[in-house]
Chain A
Amino acid sequence: MSADVETAGPQFHPMEQFTVEPLFGGHAINWYTPTNVTLWMGFAVLAIILLLVIGTRRRAIIPNRTQSVAELAYGFVYSMVEDVAGKDGLKYFPYIMTLFIFIVFSNFLGLIPMSFSTTSHIAVTVIMALAVFISVTAIGFYKHGIGFLGLFWVSSAPLALRPVLAVIEVISYFVRPVSHSIRLAGNVMAGHAVIEVFAVFVGMSLFIAPLALVGIVGMFAMDVLVAFIQAYVFTILTCVYLKDALHPAH
């Protein structure tokens, strides 16, 4: 099929934008090689510092716009952690804030044309999801000991059903990091790939171009939404998992 497309004319390479490349030439990608991943993660760090550190440097009682946005982001995540995970979840607020702010900035930086979306890579999201999964499980066992397993023992269900439910609960517990990570990477990747496909259509013919342009604009608008919503979803799921670890009783 790919050979067919190549001979037909327009080249579809919607996934090429996700290629990890060394920044300074060469092909070898060792674990330490500075790549476009490094570059765009660096930009994310810079943007975060710009917003949350430089933007709040005046410590104004009456904030300017940048400081307002920084306070808004802080309040958004803070109240999310407090509402979902409870007061004792606030201890982990800096970690959750780190995840949220990194994902949000990576997603939005990825929307810049010709940029590289770090959050479109499974490697990135899996590590974050695993970090959440492992630390939440560790917190659960540290706080409740063996009682944390009560999370899988649905005491409100009839006794006969409980073993069956326990199996389902255990499976769903271990599926968490998978869905947690693939949801984010998949959404970001799909949006970018579709835009790329539309972009190829624009170059194809004069009749399709306007339609494809409208498609790009619409897709881009949706990706802006997705960029925020997926960061929000990732964060709130983290809070929910944290709540399960802090209060495992059903």
Chain B
Amino acid sequence: MATEAHQVAGEMAPEAAGMPQLDFSTFPNQIFWLVITLIVIYLVLSRTALPRIASVLSERQGTITNDITAAEELKQKAQDAEDAYNKALAEARAEAGRIAAETKAEIQAELDVAISKADAEIAAKTAEAEKAIAVIRAGSVDSIKAVAKDTAKEIVSVMGIKADAKTITAAVTARMKG
């Protein structure tokens, strides 16, 4: 009976062919193969394809996250290195300034010592020279006295006046004091 029905459908198909979609004799066939197909696709997807794609996607996400973290770390390191460099530079600069100031102070101190020493020497030499000058001056006053007495004696004797040496000396001395 079933074959009869199929034959009838087969005979009708060419001329009617209105809607093969409504040819119910093909429904069991289509449904059977659809179910098989869907089961196969489901098995392929759930066993292989979907877990694989999910793992690839999460792996990629992980890689990207790791890379970003690594990049941040490297950036931080570079920042630290720059900071350290700047710090070292500042320290070196401060050190150089300190050394320069120290050296300057040392030189200044040495210079001060040398200058005061030189001043003292100069002062001593000046004093000596002044002493020498005083001696010379004293010497010269005495010489002048002697020359003045002698000159006075001579002048007096030339004028023809006899005068004793004591009086002349006293007179000259008095005059020179005045």
Contact = CB atoms under 8 A, between A and B. Distances in A.
Nearest to A41: B37
Contacts of B55: 59
Contacts of A32: 29, 32
A154 B57 CA distance: 41
B42 A95 contact: yes
Interface residues on A, range: 35 or more
Nearest to B24: A123
A127 B38 CA distance: 11
B38 A122 contact: no
Residue among A16, A28, A70 having the largest count of chain B Cβ atoms under 10 Å: A28
B167 interface: no
Interface stretch (A46-54, A135-143, A218-226, A239-247): A46-54
Interface residues on B, range: 35 or more
Nearest to A2: B15
Nearest to B62: A61
A202 interface: no
A15 B44 contact: no
Given A49-B44, A56-B52, A97-B50, A102 B37 contact: yes
B45 A97 contact: yes
B61 to A, nearest CB: 10
Contact of B17 (A19, A29, A63): A19
Contacts of B50: 52, 74, 93-94, 97
Contact of B26 (A75, A99, A123): A123
A97 B49 CA distance: 11
A31 to B, nearest CB: 4
A82 interface: no
A29 B44 CA distance: 28
Contacts of A101: 41, 45
B46 interface: yes
Interface of A: 13, 15-16, 18-20, 27-33, 35, 37-38, 41-42, 44-45, 48-49, 52-53, 56, 59-61, 63, 67, 70-71, 74-75, 93-95, 97-99, 101-102, 118, 120-124, 127-128, 185, 189
- Kindly list the 4 A-B residue pairs having the minimum CB-CB distance in the complex, ordered from nearest: A52-B49, A31-B28, A27-B10, A20-B26
